[in-house]
Amino acid sequence: MSRFVDKLPFFDRRASPMEEADDIPRSGLLHLHGGHHHYQHHHQPQTALMAPEPSPPTTKQSSSTLAQLLKRVNDARSDASSPNSSPSHYTIELGASMPGSTGSESEHTSLTGVGVGVGDGTLLPFVLKFTDLTYSVKQRKKGPCLPALPFRRGDAEPEAPRMKTLLDNISGEAREGEIMAVLGASGSGKSTLIDALANRIRKESLHGSVTLNGESMDNNLLKVISAYVMQDDLLYPMLTVEETLMFSAEFRLPRSLPTKEKKKRVQALIDQLGLRNAANTIIGDEGHRGVSGGERRRVSIGVDIIHDPIVLFLDEPTSGLDSTSAFMVVKVLQRIAQSGSVVVMSIHQPSYRILGLLDRLLFLSRGQTVYYGPPGSLSSFFSDFGKPIHDNENPTEFALDLVRELETMPNGACDLVEHNKSWQKRMGPKMKHADDGNGGKPSLSLQEAISASISRGKLVSGATDGNVTVPSPSSAPASTVAKFANPFWIEMGVLTRRAFLNTKRTPEIFVIRLGAVLITGFILATIFWRLDDSPKGVEERLGFFAIAMSTMFYTCSDALPVFLNERYIFLRETAYNAYRRSSYVLSHTIVGFPSLIVLSLAFAVTTFFAVGLAGGAEGFFFFVAIVLASFWAGSGFATFLSGVVTNVQLGFPVVVSTLAYFLLFSGFFINRDRIPKYWLWFHYASLVKYPYEAVMINEFSDPGRCFVRGVQMFDNTPLSVLPPAIKVRVLRAMSSSLGINIGTATCITTGPDFLKQQAVTDLTKWDCLWITVAWGFLFRILFYISLLLGSRNKRR
């Protein structure tokens, strides 16, 4: 029986997030309906931002171990999967406890907020702890291009330090059910810290430890249980809000979840994000009017939380928004945290209202911690420092202004850093005791906490089946979740549908490309109209073939910006395993191929009959095939380059110059047997060589077709200016001298003879066709490799 989530905690349907601005209790309910089991998940409301009150003691009758709880969940699912039972629905709701429910009822098991209530203490299922994080980068030495004159002794200019420290022994923790905000001025290290926690910095460069429930996380596991919302809104501009979220749901939610339930989930998320009025509006960009900035920001968050991640990282989610939009965004994040997630975000300067939604603050100054604690302790912290905060002043604004002022001093904010260390030693034990009776220590192992979260509807992308198992202590955490939510073919189908939809809504791109091909074909057809079989006609055919085949490749250069425009969307989606890179490459190929067929037919119909090429119907279809193969190889080459270069300005010069070299070594300007040996490898590596030789063989392979007869041998020689009568007399003289009868109708050069003259003898036309096709596959394989190597998305 497929497991599905009936309602997520942060999908609480309300008219608008602003209606909840005044008061939302920090509590949640988990109900399991189905069979004869009913469990309640209750989170006691917090009375302090960092020091929540311990939950009331529960009776022994209602206490239960994690193994027992998970066993009951599995039993309930087993009952629901039987033929005589209805499917189970997992509902997590915000609000107070259910009417009529008490802690003493035997059929209810009390779950405390973000964890499981056992005995008299409050358990912490997920605690993200980071200790002594240090990260340094090499600093480029600034100086003049030319070496300066040597300084006198004593006047030597001190060298700048080779390493710059971006993070300097940063420690802290973020807990499930809370929002931890990282604050500081620009350049203080906020984004660097978020990247460090999200494992976006290479391990050899980052020192210190980041643990979840005391265990170091495997990179693959972190990608599954977490999400990262970038500062930039990386979305497809021509998709509507609903379509964007639905595609994200199809990527991140498992195949076992029915499409109907995925749509319900998307609709609930639209309501929760306050996007109902913009659901059918396109995202938009500079050229297309779409949603507002705040709505676009909320869509970006929704794309990454559709699978209900356990850990959520956000880099400046309120950047560029007005105060109301920023408050609505943080309000959504608060509900996500209350649903059982760890939320870590960086923020530049929160308002009073946003400050009231935050649970922990971490102020940074040039990579050092100047304050770590709850917002409510800011006043006492700065009072102890000798800088009291005025009653009517925003504490965060005061703190940021003070830090900026200290940074202008010779010693910087060192005094405030030392004050924070001493303040933490004095106040740390008190805050830990106020937080919980366990000293802020997680009471569940990582395996147990993940299993418990999946059992109550979290992390749908990892729960690919309907069973939740209790892993043994020796089992690896990664064994409890799947790396990708869907199989390969599902990903490819979704990516293909999305790409077709984007292509359909931007028809001008294909129309312009088709117009360019038709105009080029028309010009070539009119210039090379009805070529004859004379020596000049042969030369003109060679020119037509060279221009036509190279034009196919130049036309394909428009494939270069396709991936470059999607590059950062691709990096965002694959960074946390939304889909496989191989799925993207194949869908990219499938979507682009139909247009290549249309372009090939358009060019062939425009030019083949107008120029008067040989071969009849068979020759025409081969001409279509080789033109299609040229488009295929050319688009593959441009696609590969788009995976290597980083911008269009760099890519186009590379494409144009490389194709010029291919044309130079194709055999049109110089025959193969005349190319120097040290450049012969480039001749065989030329993309233009194979289609050029293929159309030549298709045109000149007929031995019964003659291209030079009698006096035509004098064409393109000094004897071509002689009168026709003299040419005939010279021809007779040659016949008598050679003893061969050479008349005016005698065939001197056939098609195969001409191919030998051009050194086109080593391959057949079909060999050239398949080699061109193979080039297209090779470049797409190289494109896939470039995506594997170039999309690590980690700092060095």
Residues 6+ apart with CB under 8 A from 293: 320, 321, 325
Which range (218-222, 365-369, 414-418) has the least confidence?
218-222
How many percent of the chain have pLDDT more than 90?
30
pLDDT of residue 693: 94
pLDDT of residue 529: 93
Pairing relationship of beta strands 226-229 and 311-315 according to DSSP bridges: parallel
Q: In the structure, what pLDDT confidence band is assigned to residue 435 with cuts at 50, 70 and 90?
A: low
Mean pLDDT of the chain: 77
* Order of strands, sheet of 179-184, starting from the edge strand that comes earlier in the sequence: 226-229, 311-315, 342-346, 179-184, 360-365, 368-373
More confident of the two residues 648 and 145: 648
- For the cut 70, the answer to whether the pLDDT of residue 506 exceeds it is yes
With CA atoms as reference, report the closest residue to 453 among 443, 441, 463: 463
* 156: region left, alpha or beta (phi > 0 left; psi from -120 to 50 alpha): beta
CB-CB contact of 123 with 112 (8 Å): yes
State the chain's maximal CA–CA distance in angstroms.
125
Cα 288-289-292 angle, rounded to 5 deg: 135
**Mean per-residue pLDDT for 628-645?**
92
Which range (79-88, 282-291, 678-687) has the least confidence?
79-88
- For the cut 90, the answer to whether the pLDDT of residue 462 exceeds it is no
Q: In the structure, what pLDDT confidence band is assigned to residue 32 with cuts at 50, 70 and 90?
A: very low
- For the cut 80, the answer to whether the pLDDT of residue 45 exceeds it is no
Cα 643-253-202 angle, rounded to 5 deg: 45
With CA atoms as reference, report the closest residue to 135 among 65, 194, 61, 217: 194
Residue written as tokens 């391959």? 763
Residues 6+ apart with CB under 8 A from 601: 624
pLDDT of residue 181: 94
Write the DSSP string, 559-601.
Answer: GHHHHHHHHHHHHHHHHTTSS-HHHHHHHHHHHHHHHHHHHHH
CB-CB contact of 612 with 544 (8 Å): no
More confident of the two residues 48 and 130: 130
Dihedral, CA of residue 144, residue 146, residue 149 and residue 150, to nearest 10: 80
What is the three-class DSSP state of 94?
A: strand
Q: In the structure, what pLDDT confidence band is assigned to residue 473 with cuts at 50, 70 and 90?
A: very low
- For the cut 60, the answer to whether the pLDDT of residue 759 exceeds it is yes
pLDDT digits (tens, 9 = 90+) for 237-256: 999 999 999 999 999 888 88
With CA atoms as reference, report the closest residue to 213 among 458, 469, 477: 477
The CA distance from 62 to 104, in Å, is 6
pLDDT of residue 202: 83
The CA distance from 324 to 330, in Å, is 10
The CA distance from 454 to 448, in Å, is 10
The CA distance from 493 to 127, in Å, is 37
Q: In the structure, what pLDDT confidence band is assigned to residue 682 with cuts at 50, 70 and 90?
A: very high
Amino acid 788 reads: L
Amino acid 55 reads: S
The CA distance from 179 to 177, in Å, is 7
Q: What is each CA distance from 551 to 280, 296, 476, 641, in whole angstroms? A: 41, 41, 56, 18
With CA atoms as reference, report the closest residue to 252 among 8, 461, 491: 461
CB-CB contact of 308 with 459 (8 Å): yes
Beta strands in 338-417 (DSSP E): 342-346, 360-365, 368-373
Dihedral, CA of residue 373, residue 378, residue 380 and residue 385, to nearest 10: 100
pLDDT of residue 430: 61
CB-CB contact of 173 with 440 (8 Å): yes
pLDDT of residue 680: 92
Residues 6+ apart with CB under 8 A from 422: none
pLDDT of residue 52: 38
Q: Please list the alpha-helical segments (H only) found in 365-413.
A: 378-384, 395-407
Pairing relationship of beta strands 311-315 and 342-346 according to DSSP bridges: parallel
With CA atoms as reference, report the closest residue to 317 among 460, 179, 134, 223: 179
* Neighbour count for residue 737 (Cβ, 10 Å): 8
pLDDT of residue 60: 36
pLDDT of residue 142: 53
Provide the token pair at 141: 């030495």
The CA distance from 95 to 745, in Å, is 100
pLDDT of residue 149: 47
Compute the Cα dihedral for 247, 28, 213, 228 and give only its sign.
Answer: positive
Amino acid 125 reads: P
Cβ-count burial of 153 within 10 angstroms (0-12 exposed, 13-18 middle, 19+ buried)?
exposed
Provide the token pair at 313: 């990282």
Residues 6+ apart with CB under 8 A from 227: 304, 305, 307, 309, 311, 312, 313, 576
Residue 707 has phi, psi (to 5 degrees) of -115, -10
With CA atoms as reference, report the closest residue to 238 among 505, 446, 483, 35: 505
Residue 109 has phi, psi (to 5 degrees) of -115, 120
Provide the token pair at 221: 């596991």
Question: Which H or E run includes 219?
Answer: helix 219-225
**Mean per-residue pLDDT for 2-10?**
36
Q: According to the per-residue pLDDT averaged within each range, which of 208-222, 407-421, 437-451, 627-641 is highest?
A: 627-641
The reported pTM is 0.74
Q: What is each CA distance from 165 to 133, 142, 366, 506, 657, in whole angstroms? A: 11, 17, 8, 46, 42
Provide the token pair at 570: 């691709």
**Mean per-residue pLDDT for 186-213?**
88
Which range (618-622, 693-697, 699-703) has the least confidence?
699-703
More confident of the two residues 204 and 787: 787
Which range (96-105, 229-238, 328-337, 520-529) has the least confidence?
96-105
pLDDT digits (tens, 9 = 90+) for 217-231: 777 788 888 888 888
Please give the DSSP secondary-structure letter assigned to residue 275: -
In angstroms, what is the C-alpha Rg of the chain? 35
Provide the token pair at 48: 């302090």
Q: According to the per-residue pLDDT averaged within each range, which of 245-249, 283-287, 563-567, 650-654 is highest?
A: 245-249
The CA distance from 180 to 177, in Å, is 10
CB-CB contact of 95 with 31 (8 Å): no
pLDDT digits (tens, 9 = 90+) for 114-155: 333 333 334 557 889 999 999 988 876 555 544 544 545 555
Reported residue count of the chain is 796
Q: In the structure, what pLDDT confidence band is assigned to residue 332 with cuts at 50, 70 and 90?
A: confident
The whole-angstrom distance between residue 413's C-alpha and the CA centroid of its chain comes to: 38
Per-state percent for the chain, helix, strand, coil, to nearest 5 = 50, 15, 40
pLDDT digits (tens, 9 = 90+) for 51-109: 333 333 333 333 344 344 334 434 433 443 343 433 333 333 333 333 333 333 333 33
Q: Report all structural domains of the chain as residue ranges with CATH numbers, in order of start.
A: 127-133+164-429 (3.40.50.300), 488-795 (no CATH)
* Neighbour count for residue 145 (Cβ, 10 Å): 4
With CA atoms as reference, report the closest residue to 230 among 332, 316, 348: 316
Question: Which H or E run includes 604?
Answer: helix 581-611
Provide the token pair at 130: 């980071």
